[in-house]
Amino acid sequence: MSTSVNATQVRLDEDSMWVELSDGRTLGVPLTWFPRLLHATAEQRAQVRISKRGLHWDALDEDVSIAGLLAGFGDQTAKKPFAA
Protein backbone atom coordinates (compact mmCIF):
# COMPACT_ATOMS: atom_id res chain seq x y z
CA MET A 1 0.00 0.00 0.00
CA SER A 2 1.38 3.41 -0.83
CA THR A 3 0.00 6.88 -0.62
CA SER A 4 1.14 10.36 -1.56
CA VAL A 5 -0.41 11.75 1.62
CA ASN A 6 1.97 12.27 4.54
CA ALA A 7 1.52 12.97 8.23
CA THR A 8 2.42 16.50 9.23
CA GLN A 9 1.59 16.33 12.94
CA VAL A 10 0.42 13.77 15.46
CA ARG A 11 -1.03 14.17 18.92
CA LEU A 12 -2.32 11.63 21.36
CA ASP A 13 -4.72 12.00 24.23
CA GLU A 14 -5.84 9.35 26.73
CA ASP A 15 -8.13 7.61 24.22
CA SER A 16 -7.22 8.63 20.68
CA MET A 17 -4.48 9.38 18.19
CA TRP A 18 -5.03 12.41 15.92
CA VAL A 19 -2.96 12.56 12.74
CA GLU A 20 -2.95 15.69 10.59
CA LEU A 21 -2.30 14.91 6.93
CA SER A 22 -0.62 16.92 4.19
CA ASP A 23 -3.92 17.12 2.26
CA GLY A 24 -5.67 18.92 5.14
CA ARG A 25 -7.52 15.95 6.63
CA THR A 26 -7.23 14.93 10.26
CA LEU A 27 -7.61 11.27 11.16
CA GLY A 28 -8.74 10.27 14.62
CA VAL A 29 -8.34 6.64 15.66
CA PRO A 30 -8.89 4.96 19.02
CA LEU A 31 -5.76 3.92 20.90
CA THR A 32 -7.37 0.51 21.41
CA TRP A 33 -6.30 -0.13 17.79
CA PHE A 34 -2.67 0.11 18.98
CA PRO A 35 -2.18 -1.61 22.37
CA ARG A 36 1.47 -0.50 22.72
CA LEU A 37 0.38 3.14 22.48
CA LEU A 38 -2.66 2.56 24.70
CA HIS A 39 -0.48 1.21 27.51
CA ALA A 40 2.41 3.67 27.04
CA THR A 41 3.07 6.68 29.22
CA ALA A 42 2.41 10.19 27.95
CA GLU A 43 6.17 10.71 27.72
CA GLN A 44 6.61 7.59 25.59
CA ARG A 45 3.73 8.58 23.32
CA ALA A 46 5.26 12.02 22.80
CA GLN A 47 8.47 10.51 21.38
CA VAL A 48 7.03 9.93 17.92
CA ARG A 49 9.05 10.32 14.73
CA ILE A 50 7.15 11.29 11.58
CA SER A 51 8.47 10.02 8.24
CA LYS A 52 7.13 9.90 4.68
CA ARG A 53 5.70 6.42 5.30
CA GLY A 54 4.21 6.93 8.74
CA LEU A 55 4.83 7.18 12.44
CA HIS A 56 7.45 5.46 14.60
CA TRP A 57 8.07 5.15 18.33
CA ASP A 58 11.57 3.72 18.95
CA ALA A 59 11.10 3.00 22.65
CA LEU A 60 7.80 1.21 22.02
CA ASP A 61 8.88 -0.62 18.84
CA GLU A 62 5.69 0.68 17.21
CA ASP A 63 5.22 1.62 13.57
CA VAL A 64 1.99 3.00 12.10
CA SER A 65 1.71 3.51 8.36
CA ILE A 66 -0.39 6.32 6.96
CA ALA A 67 -1.65 4.00 4.23
CA GLY A 68 -2.80 1.55 6.91
CA LEU A 69 -4.61 4.27 8.84
CA LEU A 70 -6.35 5.44 5.66
CA ALA A 71 -7.42 1.84 5.00
CA GLY A 72 -8.81 1.52 8.53
CA PHE A 73 -6.18 -0.90 9.83
CA GLY A 74 -5.13 -1.04 13.46
CA ASP A 75 -2.26 -3.08 14.89
CA GLN A 76 -1.32 -5.71 12.30
CA THR A 77 1.16 -7.56 14.53
CA ALA A 78 0.72 -11.29 14.15
CA LYS A 79 -0.51 -12.83 17.38
CA LYS A 80 1.19 -16.03 18.50
CA PRO A 81 -1.22 -18.85 19.25
CA PHE A 82 -1.64 -19.77 22.89
CA ALA A 83 0.33 -22.87 23.82
CA ALA A 84 -1.25 -25.02 26.51
pLDDT per residue as tens digits for the range 44-79: 999 999 998 899 999 999 999 999 999 998 887 755
Give the CATH architecture of domain 7-71: 2-Layer Sandwich (3.30)
- Distance (Å, rounded) from C-alpha 57 to C-alpha 42? 12
How would residue 11 be classed by pLDDT, with cut points 50, 70 and 90? Answer: very high
Question: What was the pLDDT predicted at 79?
Answer: 52
Alpha helices by DSSP H, listed for 1-84, are: 35-38, 42-46, 66-71
Gyration radius of the chain's alpha carbons: 13
Q: Could you give the percent of the chain with pLDDT greater than 90?
A: 79
- Residue 52 CB partners (closer than 8 Å, separation 6+): 6
Domain parsing of the chain, residue ranges: 7-71
